[in-house]
Chains A and B, each alone.
Chain A
Amino acid sequence: MFKWTFKSLFSQKATLFASSFGVASAFILVIFFSSVWQGEAEQIIAYPNKMEPDIWVMQKGVENLHMSMSFVWDWKAKLIEDMPEVKRVTPILYLNSVIVAKEKKLFGFVVGLLDKDDRAGPWELTQGRGIEGENEIVVPDVFRELASLELGDTIQLADRSFNIVAFSKGTYSSANPVFFVRLIDLEKLLSSFGTFSYLLVDSNEGVDNDRLVEKIKQKVSKVNALTHQAFVANDFALAKQMGVEIIFTMTLICSILAVLIIAYSSFALVSVQTGEIAILKALGVRSPLVFMSVIIQSLFMTMLAFLVASLFSLWVLPLIPELVPQITVRPTTSLLVSVGAIAFIVAALGAIFPAYKVLSIDPALVYKN
């Protein structure tokens, strides 16, 4: 019976492979969407992760960097810097806005840096130099490709023009490209002086950062302080939570599609093999065995689809950013495992109707011409 199951399946190679590829595409759709979200979420925390201060200090009530607005009086930075546990405090001014270059617009994050202080600046430049003068800007290298930019070109931020002095690596994502300018230039742009957005606090060796966080919150009024790990975890959670519902919906829709494709293919196979199944039944093969063979065929097609989707995810998905550089794709093992689990459900659901048809095939059909 087992041999017949596979023999009959492979006798319809075109149906087998086309349906497996169809279902694989539905799985790829889910994997791709989730991987993009994972990639974007990871890229959103790239900047704070690379800065890695021991503690982040921000406005009271604020707990995130991404899509947040925070104001901290400048004198509070001095107050924290004077604490014996603190080695260094690096303030940044932070703005999210629309960035324009050569008619190309994108939503970006601009970090204002203190003069001659690269503690909070770009961690890798692919071309150019650090910011030295007025109205200079460091731009993500991916944006350079998208807008065909060169060093010396102009970037427009509201009514101010900035000259590109460098391109930075690892600072681009669709939701969160990071640009760097001088803090004083950003202050002028915002017409806001005497405040910072966030303070990056580096503590002395051996200091208990959790205690320092508590001390900062106690001694400095109206600020919030978080360890680096907690701060990054907040941003990552925000990015992931924004996608939970839409990823679930996409998974559901694509799974239904996969179920229908499998159901159709199994049904088509059963239709083609009606005569053979009738013979099997006439020969005394019990219905549950035939029923099982339909389930195995459905499972095999789905697993083949899952294999194709997994190989695609491991080999082809990582190449997509080469073609579409603005997309960050990160397929994860846990994602593939969950799609694998979905594949089992798809196979089972897809086999229900064809299996029902198998049960209803009359062995007497053998005697019909």
Chain B
Amino acid sequence: MLKLAFKLLGYDKQKTLFTVLALAAVISVILILEGFEQGQYTQLEQVVLNRNADLIAAQSGVENFIATRSVIPQLSRIDVEAVEGVKQAHPITALPIIYKKDNLRTPVYIIVYDSSGGPSELLEGRAFQYGSNIVIDKSLSEKYGLKIDDEFVVNEFKFTISGITNESAFMMPFAFINYDGMIDLFLESDIAPDLSTFPLLSFLLVELKPNADKQQVIRMLEASVPSVDVHTAEEIAKNDIVLGRTFFEPIMGVLVSVGYVIGLLVVGLIMYSDISASRKSYAVLKAIGFPIKKLFRMVVLQSSLLILMAIPIGTLLALISAMSIEMSEPIYLIEIVNTTVYYQTLGACLAFALVSGLFPLVIIYRSDPMLAFQMS
């Protein structure tokens, strides 16, 4: 039966090629949609994990890193470092700003860091040399045509770009400055009564001594520094993904569902028109005694073969599209080869093949074996 299915597909090679291409396009659209959503979660996760902290101390009650306001007392750093098992606590502050140039606006998440937690993937330049240096994400550099040593104006304070990094999440590019830069920004802006008005310390990236027990240190930290809650970086990353899901899932869920509907329609259409065109061949098979069950199995086999041929091409198309999206819009990460999601999608596509086999069943059922003896 497999041989027959192959022969039927090979009968009109041009048409089979078109069919496989159309199916591959459907598969690639679904993979891109899924990859876009998955990429958002990976970026959210990486932004936390790339800070290279064993533990993260946040304002009491705060369990997220991205898009959250955490303010912890400056003196808590000393208290945290005094706890047994803690090697060092690196301060970090997050500032959301809107960057504007040439009538274009982009929300940017500025990470202020001191001894650790800076840019993790420098593509060009260096982290910083002076307080007025800034490292920006490559999406900002490309969108606004910014290069090393160019000015980057934040609230009328001029930073100089010293490096280009590759870090963005939640559809926001990241930028990195050090504490000197932040204090200059606040002081020169002269916008509030005193520096304490501003969020000077959002998180502490806790570095543990070798062999320190994470859970024990967490317990000791929370007992001795009540102003902070302490989590592992993995926990915070997980919480950020959960937060991301509440934002992306409703929209992406509908989009992916529509993608699957298209897939079902297209595979169904292809199988229907294919079987419709080869109605006579099926009549011949019926005339020589092929039972309906076997014919149905052959249709499913045929559509499964088409899907199987389309999968590698669809994956390749999705990978090429993802690469071109990431090159033109580096703020997005399209994660096509996420094992779980990838196999889920392919599983769903194979399910199409089964369901779409039902579409032309009626033609096979109705095709008269007498048709086999008619002149074409």
Contacts and interface: CB of A to CB of B under 8 A. Distances in A.
Interface of A: 12, 14-15, 18-19, 21-22, 25-26, 28-29, 32-33, 36, 59-64, 66-69, 71-73, 95-98, 100, 104-107, 156-160, 174-175, 190-195, 221-222, 234, 237-238, 241-242, 245-246, 249, 253-254, 256-257, 260-261, 263-265, 267-268, 271-272, 275, 320, 324, 326-327, 353, 357, 369
Interface stretch (B120-128, B159-167, B259-267): B259-267
Contacts of A245: 328-329, 331-332
23 contacts: A12-B273, A18-B272, A19-B269, A25-B258, A25-B265, A36-B251, A67-B98, A68-B96, A69-B96, A96-B96, A97-B67, A190-B69, A195-B193, A234-B105, A242-B106, A245-B328, A257-B262, A260-B25, A264-B269, A268-B274, A272-B277, A324-B254, A327-B251
Given A15-B269, A260-B25, A71 B70 contact: no
Contacts of A265: 269, 273
Interface string B141-176: 000000000000011110000000000000110000
Given A26-B262, A69-B96, A105-B64, A369 B376 contact: yes
A194 B196 CA distance: 11
B272 A15 contact: yes
Contacts of A69: 95-97
Contacts of B331: 245
Interface of B: 12, 14-15, 18-19, 21-22, 25-26, 28-29, 32, 36, 59-64, 67-71, 73, 95-98, 100, 103-107, 154-157, 171-172, 189-193, 196-199, 229, 239, 242-243, 246-247, 250-251, 253-255, 258-259, 261-262, 265-266, 268-270, 272-274, 276-277, 321, 325, 328-329, 331-332, 375-376
B105 A241 contact: yes
Contacts of A64: 98, 105
B270 A264 contact: yes
A105 B189 contact: no
Contact of B197 (A14, A19, A105, A192): A192
A237 B250 contact: no
Contact of A105 (B14, B246, B274): B246
Contacts of A158: 59-62, 69-70
Contacts of A96: 67, 69, 96
B250 A327 contact: yes
B276 A25 contact: no
B97 A22 contact: no
Contact of A63 (B100, B242, B277): B100
Contacts of B270: 264, 268
B53 to A, nearest CB: 19
B276 A14 contact: yes
A112 B274 CA distance: 64
A268 B273 contact: yes
Given A61-B155, A105-B243, A324-B254, A272 B98 contact: no
Contacts of B154: 61
Given A67-B96, A68-B96, A97 B69 contact: yes
Contacts of A26: 29, 262
Contact of A241 (B29, B106, B157, B247): B106
A25 B262 CA distance: 6
B189 A59 contact: yes
A59 B189 CA distance: 9
Given A33-B255, A105-B239, 4 more contacts: A32-B254, A98-B68, A263-B18, A272-B276
B15 A267 contact: yes
B276 A59 contact: no
A67 B61 CA distance: 22
A29 B261 CA distance: 10
Contacts of A193: 197
A47 B73 CA distance: 32
Contacts of B73: 191
Nearest to A67: B107
A324 B265 CA distance: 24
Contacts of A272: 273, 276-277
Contacts of B104: 241
B22 A261 contact: yes
A78 to B, nearest CB: 14
A134 to B, nearest CB: 17
Most buried by A among B70, B229, B273: B273
Contact of B67 (A36, A98, A268, A357): A98
A268 B71 contact: no
B281 to A, nearest CB: 14
Nearest to B58: A158
Contact of B254 (A95, A160, A257, A327): A327
